Structure 1
């Protein structure tokens, strides 16, 4: 379990090169500055920004087959301040990362960081997921986007049998998973977060097209 900022930096550095660490350092500095203008993240979390936001995002790579990511599409739903999507793009420039975000000021922030970090493979879909059109994704991530059942219904059309799902959750991970229908539930398992002893990640592989418990896919 990562306990402090030094350990968090070391954890991330083991998973990327020096250029990526420079990009992430620039992202952290810009986040601190921008957070004075708009509430991208909680002010308290900035004291532990590498642990709470950078390493917390980077750990998702441990649950995705890295050898299959080159040129593949990683879709990050409700990208917000850019976690995990911007972190993934900064660490893995060979991956096409699509940041899905509908709020105007968040879109402006994400676009500015893509330009500043020279992330040519990263782009923003500035619209609600419900109206988004696009190709299937190799990886779908979402951090505090929506309850699990709703998240899966909205993003089902972007999934295939090869799609990897990495969904950071708090202490509700196991409970949300139990709330799914048996068909969807079998696709996922719970992994412990390395940055928070009370948090977990729902990891799965496959398509979730079909009907969830108490809801209909559209």
Structure 2
């Protein structure tokens, strides 16, 4: 990896501290190395429209770090838990979750082969045995059921739950990363799916609205129909 930028490292450590997260030096190293890989691959493969390193830090890394605490609270014990990040692109938030929660098994899913190849390269170079990547359409994906399905800028809430309901284990939930509270999308959810929490997020260094929409099948709903 390239030599780390002390100022960028300090900014990253400040973000982690502001979010009340615990991260050891090795985790900070991995997050920095991930950004370096993202910038390097982005020059050729156009993984993200954001190219400025400072903007990558705030718009991508900080944005994804902000969901780590809420996700940990929802899952409780992360050992043995499984998460799927659908429409993962360059691994956001999946890579960040795998770095910050090493007991969590994280699978990133995307239909674009170069993006899946990038996540696999990240898993190898950052030595993240809990990070996996699948090249597939999520509605066709067949994997063991998961505890949580997450998306970031993937689809409407209705499409999100419809395309991924077959992936949820009993008791599993959906976590959708959104900007402004998506009241219209929530009103359009199908029967059998309920929003049980809309959680505002404060993302350090980002002057924009962010929230998490938590959803689950309602009792007795025929998921997988």
| Partner residue, 2:201 | 193
TM score, norm. by length of structure 1: 0.84
Distance 1:143 1:207, change over 3 A: farther
Deviation at 1:172, TM superposition (A): 5.5
User: Which residue of the partner structure matches residue 87 of structure 1?
Assistant: 96
Provide, for residues 168-200 of structure 1, a one-character-per-residue CA deviation record: whole Å limited to 9, x for no partner.
01225222112214642x333221121253222
What are structure 1's unaligned runs of at least 5 residues? 212-216
Return closer, same or farther for 1:90/1:13 CA change in 2, 3 Å cut-off. Answer: farther
Q: Does 1:61 align with 2:65?
A: no
Q: 1:18 to 1:205 in 2, by over 3 A?
A: farther
Distance in 2 (alpha carbons) for counterparts of 1:51 and 1:188: 28
> Residue in 1 aligned with 2:187?
178
TM-score (norm 2): 0.82
- Matched residue SS, 1:177: helix
Q: Aligned with 1:107: secondary structure?
A: helix
Structure with more contact order per residue of length (Cα contacts < 8 Å, sep ≥ 6):
1
- Any conservation in 2 of the 1:77–1:141 contact (CA below 8 Å)? yes
Q: Does 1:165 align with 2:174?
A: yes
1:162 Cα deviation from its structure 2 partner: 2.2
Instruction: Tell me the alpha carbon deviations over residues 96-133 of structure 1, each in whole angstroms, 9 at most, x when there is no partner.
Output: 11111121111111111110011111111111112111
Distance 2:69 2:217 in 1: 18
Using the TM superposition, give the Cα deviation of residue 205 of structure 1 relative to its aligned residue in structure 2, in angstroms.
4.3
Q: Which residue of 2 aligns with 1:30?
A: 37
- The alignment yields a C-alpha RMSD, in angstroms, of 2.5
After the TM superposition, which parts of structure 1 deviate over 6 Å for at least 4 consecutive aligned residues? none
Q: Is the 8 A contact 1:162 1:207 kept in 2?
A: no
Q: Which moved more, 1:48-57 or 1:86-95?
A: 48-57
Q: How does 1:125-140 map to 2 (within 5 A)?
A: 125-140=134-149
Distance 1:45 1:177 in 2: 33
Q: For residues 70 and 152 of structure 1, do their structure 2 counterparts lie closer, same or farther at Cα, with a shift above 3 Å needed?
A: same
Partner of 2:214: 203
| Structure 1 residue aligned with 2:8 | none
Contact 1:140-1:164 within 8 A present in 2 as well:
yes
CA offset digits 1:60-81 (Å, max 9, x no partner): 2222235321111111101101
Aligned partners of 1:169 and 1:199 also within 8 Å: yes
**Take 1:83 and 1:187, find their aligned partners in 2: how far apart are those partners?**
23
